[in-house]
Amino acid sequence: MNKFKQLLLVLLAVSISACFPSNNSGKTEILLQGRTMGTTYNIKVVATLKQLEALKLQQKIDDALKQVNQEMSTYIADSEISRFNQSTSLDPIEVSDGFARVLQESIRIGELSGGKLDITVGPLVNLWGFGPELRPEKAPSDELLAATHARVGLTNLHLNAKQLSKDIPNLYVDLSTTAKGYGVDVVAELIEANGITNYLVEIGGEMRLRGFKHTGELWAIAIEKPILDPSGEQRAIQQVIIPKDNAVATSGDYRNYFEADGQRFSHIIDPQTGKPINHNLVSVTVIAPSSMTADGLSTALMVMGTEQGMKFAVKHELAALFISKTEHGFTEQFTVKFKQYLK
């Protein structure tokens, strides 16, 4: 899905994929890895190998993720979302449960954030060169920007239970910002449905975890320090957090941008201006029970910028960490709700 997003979060002690025998239960920490949504997944479950084999867990996970893609990937021409986008009909269509769930939450966060998260922003994302279409050499003309902007807006999209419709024929829905988080939720729920209560799920940097490691310790997550190094080779830790039974999502663009005419363009668009965001906020990390929610909120806060984002996060009692760039390096700010998770 979002091919450009790099891992902003690194697991602490992701040492080896081998299994370590636990002290008491005979359970081990098993790493399942694969690819989905144009990125990788890393899943750790505390279980016995026998149990996993009997459950055929990885097969079930791959099948579930395949279904999510078939519903919500704009990179798949005949996915449910692509068919809705290609259709010029204004009549409502019935959508799948999963698609409806992501649409509903994305629209909720869109309205809550005053339109900062906008899943109809896709044409602008493509115009600036970050979607499934090709990257432009330079910034688009004002005329093209205005024409594209006219096609965008959450008020043109309607979801009534599972009935989805649009007011304009060429509306384009892009769930890049919440579908990955939803994929994490689907996998977490699947693991729990199979009777496993200690796990960590990560897809392309979005995470959700529960319970304990095989050693009996709580899962710890390292948030990466922003280093403006396009090669992405230099990495350091900014904060270590213990999120307990929650999801962690980071939105950030310090490795995800292109430069043209000496200007930096982010892949995140401010729906109000129609242009890529351009402020000193480098990344936002949100902790919430649902990965889809954390994912959507982190992008919404990223669009807002540090000052407005911090106010919004305090008002809505969100656990959020903001890392901003200043003349003197990077500074961080976090809400009271976030503080409890700092190690």
Q: Would you tell me which residues interact with ligand ADP (CB under 6 A)?
A: 2, 5, 117-119, 121, 125, 130-131, 174, 176-177, 180, 251-253, 267-269, 271, 295, 298-299, 302-303
Q: How far is the CB of 120 from Mg ion (least distance, A)?
A: 16
The site partner of 119 among ligand ADP, Mg ion, none (C-beta below 5 to 8 Å per kind) is ligand ADP
CB-nearer residue toward ligand ADP: 98 or 252: 252
Nearest to Mg ion of 132, 252 (CB atom): 252
Of the pair 74, 298, the CB lying nearest Mg ion is at: 298
CA-closest candidate to residue 274, choices 127, 107, 112, 110: 127
- Quote the tokens at residue 280: 């000193």
CA atoms of 19 and 51, how far apart (whole Å): 14
Query: To the nearest whole angstrom, how small is the minimum distance from the Cβ of residue 141 to ligand ADP?
Result: 20
In the bound state with ligand ADP, the residue whose beta carbon lies nearer, of 125 and 287, is: 125
Contact 263, 201 (CB under 8 A): no
Q: Which residues bind Mg ion (CB under 5 A)?
A: 177, 251, 295, 298-299
Task: Return the closest-CA partner of residue 268 out of 174, 163, 156, 141.
Answer: 174
State the binding partner of 281 from ligand ADP, Mg ion, none, CB within 5 to 8 A by kind.
none
User: What gap in Å lies between CA 138 and CA 148, rounded to an integer?
Assistant: 16
Q: How far is the CB of 338 from Mg ion (least distance, A)?
A: 17
The least distance separating ligand ADP from the CB of residue 130, rounded to whole angstroms, comes to 5
The helix-helix angle for 179-193 and 291-304 (nearest 10°) equals: 160
Residue type, 20: F
Min separation Cβ 299 and Mg ion, Å: 4
Residue 291 beta carbon to Mg ion: minimum distance, rounded to whole angstroms: 10
Least separation in angstroms between residue 56's CB and ligand ADP is 30
Tell me the three state secondary structure of residue 20: coil
Q: Which residues pair with 46 in a beta bridge?
A: 29
123 contact choice in ligand ADP, Mg ion, none (CB below 5 to 8 Å, kind-dependent): none
Instruction: Compute the distance between CA of residue 160 and CA of residue 194 in angstroms, rounded to an integer.
Output: 32
Helix spans in the chain (H): 49-55, 57-72, 80-86, 97-112, 122-127, 142-149, 179-193, 291-304, 306-315, 336-339
Amino acid (one-letter) located at 87: S
Choose from ligand ADP, Mg ion, none: what does 243 bind? Cβ within 5-8 Å by kind.
none
Long-range contacts of 263-267 (CB under 8 A, 24+ apart): 263/139, 265/128, 265/129, 265/139, 267/2, 267/4, 267/125, 267/128, 267/130
Nearest residue to ligand ADP, by Cβ distance, number only: 251
* CB nearer Mg ion, residue 177 or residue 198: 177
- In whole angstroms, the minimum distance from the beta carbon of 318 to ligand ADP comes to 15
Q: List the single partner that 222 binds among ligand ADP, Mg ion, none, CB under 5 to 8 Å by kind.
A: none
- Give the residue nearest to Mg ion (CB): 299
**Partner touching 118 among ligand ADP, Mg ion, none, CB below 5 to 8 Å by kind:** ligand ADP
In the complex with ligand ADP, the residue whose CB is nearer, 117 or 310, is 117
Rounded CA separation 166/232 (Å): 40
Q: Which does 109 bind (CB under 5 to 8 A by kind): ligand ADP, Mg ion, none?
A: none
**At 328, which amino acid appears?**
H
Beta bridge partners of 323: 283, 332
